[in-house]
């Protein structure tokens, strides 16, 4: 029996090795079909639990992507449906983008538009990326399109310890989908803790005013983050063009120096990943409760996915039956309604136990008496975003 001894295997027209073989017999392969390789959640923009359109800054449309803008910017954000005319991403299986449309004609020094996804530190720390070594790499890839052709400033950041920034430029031609790929080395100065706090952030930046930019910023290298020097000075054409659009999809962050095929997850898988950070308790929810403090009903909710941390609680009138409300049914005492925002007791929260304990005020009750509650309008929202 013969033995073939090689150091690497490469395709005929390839510029890099598909398989490398070390002298000890171990091999490293650049595979395109690895599972759980994408560290980005909702990179295909499938899930939009809150809404499909908004003019507000923050988490308001596509899940896990914060639409961040400053000053008096007039921006409309949408979960935008792609069609077969969206050559490039559509053929790659993408059906949605995160889309922004400008309503301004000026670009002030304090204005900005930036899409962000913060990533839990533990997801990066345990990914297999040796982030303290400049010979170990992580690769970001995505599709992007702008109605205005220009160069845009992007970055990734590490958050733990001394905050570090890795800025880079992306040049887009007008009205043309472009596949962007950026390979990022580690650095001995980086710190990423193994916890559920924010450890890494992706910034897809459309514009940042000159109060937060400086040409002293060096692209394509790790450096200390500065609030007054986040990117190099930006081209303002997009922001000064009323009606200009910018959209992106197919965002993937993976360990290694090569951008492999996008890991398409089912809608159900992507929704479950998003629900770790945001969920709703909607119309029709029924729970047993008990009276407390003469005016409160205590009850519990077991979500389908454990949340990242004890959630902040609010309410929304979006959804069925309009205005948010909770109805109480008590033996021998009829019914009563409350529109008060419930609270939660974080003392009882455990990340490994999904139960959320809620306190609903706005009632007149007898302590320790039982009741049933029913959400009869709007929804209760639970947020554990980074």
How far apart (Å, rounded) are the C-alpha atoms in residues 119 and 126?
12
Give me the domain span that covers residue 17.
Answer: 1-30
Do 84 and 98 lie in a common domain? yes
* Tokens coding 197: 């706090």
pLDDT attached to residue 106: 81
Identify the segments of the chain with pLDDT beneath 70: 1, 13-15, 25-34, 71-72, 331
Could you report the per-residue pLDDT of 338-362, keeping only the tens digit for each? 999 999 988 889 888 889 999 999 9
pLDDT at 21: 74
Do 109 and 203 reside in the same domain of the chain? yes
Task: Tell whether 123 and 258 lie within a shared domain.
Answer: yes
Residue 47 to residue 280: CA distance in whole angstroms: 14
Residue 169 tokens, joined: 């430029």
Residues 185 and 93 in one domain: yes
Structural domain contains residue 48: no
H or E segment at 121?
A: helix 121-125
CATH number of the domain encompassing residue 210? 2.60.120.260
Q: Tell me: do 255 and 368 sit in the same domain.
A: no
Q: How many CA atoms lie within 13 A of 74 on its CB side?
A: 9
Q: Is 35 a member of any domain?
A: no
**Token pair listed for 339:** 């529109």
Report the domain count for the chain: 3
Residues 225 and 353 in one domain: no
Beta bridge partners of 254: 139
DSSP 117-169: EEEEHHHHHTSS--TT-TT-EEEEEEEEEESS-EEEEEEEEE-SSS-EEEEEE
- 73 and 213 part of one domain: yes
Residue 184 and residue 140 in contact, taking contact as beta carbons nearer than 8 Å: yes
Domain boundary residue among 273, 305, 335?
Answer: 273
Nearest to 176 by CA among 235, 97, 79, 247: 247
pLDDT digits (tens, 9 = 90+) for 10-24: 877 666 777 777 777
Of the three residues 273, 294, 323, the one that is the final residue of a domain is 273
Task: Indicate if 160 and 21 belong to the same structural domain.
Answer: no
Instruction: With residue 171 as reference, give the H or E element that holds it.
Output: strand 164-172
- What pLDDT is stored for residue 329 in this prediction? 94
* Same domain? 322 vs 249: no
- Asked whether residue 42 is domain-assigned, the answer is no
Regarding whether 17 and 73 lie in a shared domain, the answer is no
**Residues 181 and 97 occupy one common structural domain:** yes
Which tokens sit at 49?
Answer: 């639990």
Query: What is the helix (H) or strand (E) element at residue 268, kind and residue range?
Result: helix 267-275
Token pair of 54, please? 């908004």
Could you tell me if 135 and 199 lie in one domain? yes
* pLDDT number for residue 33: 56
């Amino acid at each position: 029996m013969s033995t073939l001894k090689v150091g690497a295997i490469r395709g005929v027209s390839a510029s890099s090795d598909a398989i490398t073989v070390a002298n000890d017999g171990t091999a490293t392969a650049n595979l395109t079909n690895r599972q759980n390789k994408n560290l980005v959640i909702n990179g295909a923009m499938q899930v939009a639990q809150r809404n499909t359109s908004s003019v507000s800054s923050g988490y308001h449309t596509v899940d896990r992507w914060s639409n961040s803008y400053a000053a008096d910017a007039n921006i409309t954000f949408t979960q935008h449906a792609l069609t077969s005319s969206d050559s490039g991403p559509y053929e790659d299986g993408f059906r949605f983008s995160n889309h922004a449309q400008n309503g301004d004609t000026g670009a002030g020094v304090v204005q900005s538009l930036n899409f962000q996804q913060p990533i839990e530190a533990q997801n990066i720390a345990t990914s297999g990326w040796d982030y303290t070594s400049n010979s170990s790499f992580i690769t970001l890839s995505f599709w992007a399109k702008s109605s205005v052709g220009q160069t845009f400033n992007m970055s990734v950041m590490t958050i733990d310890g001394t905050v570090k920034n890795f800025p880079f430029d992306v040049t887009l031609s007008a009205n043309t989908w472009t596949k962007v790929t950026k390979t990022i080395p580690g650095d001995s100065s980086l710190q990423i803790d193994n916890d559920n706090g924010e450890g890494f952030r992706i910034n897809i930046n459309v514009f940042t005013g000159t109060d937060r930019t400086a040409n002293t910023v060096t692209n394509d290298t790790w450096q200390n983050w500065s609030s007054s020097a986040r990117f190099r000075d930006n081209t303002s054409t997009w922001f000064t063009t009323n009606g200009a659009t910018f959209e992106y999809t197919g965002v993937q962050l993976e360990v290694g120096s090569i951008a492999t095929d996008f890991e398409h997850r089912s809608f159900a898988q992507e929704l479950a990943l998003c629900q770790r950070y945001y969920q709703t308790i909607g119309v029709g929810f029924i729970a047993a409760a008990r009276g407390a403090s003469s005016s409160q009903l205590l009850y519990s909710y077991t979500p389908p996915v454990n949340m990242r941390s004890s959630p902040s609680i609010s309410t929304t009138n979006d959804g069925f039956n309009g205005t948010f409300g909770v109805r109480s049914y008590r033996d021998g005492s009829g019914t009563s309604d409350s529109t008060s925002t419930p609270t939660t007791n974080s003392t009882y929260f455990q990340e490994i136990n999904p139960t959320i304990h809620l306190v609903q005020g706005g009632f007149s009750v007898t302590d320790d008496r039982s009741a049933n509650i029913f959400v009869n309008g709007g929804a209760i929202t639970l947020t554990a975003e980074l």
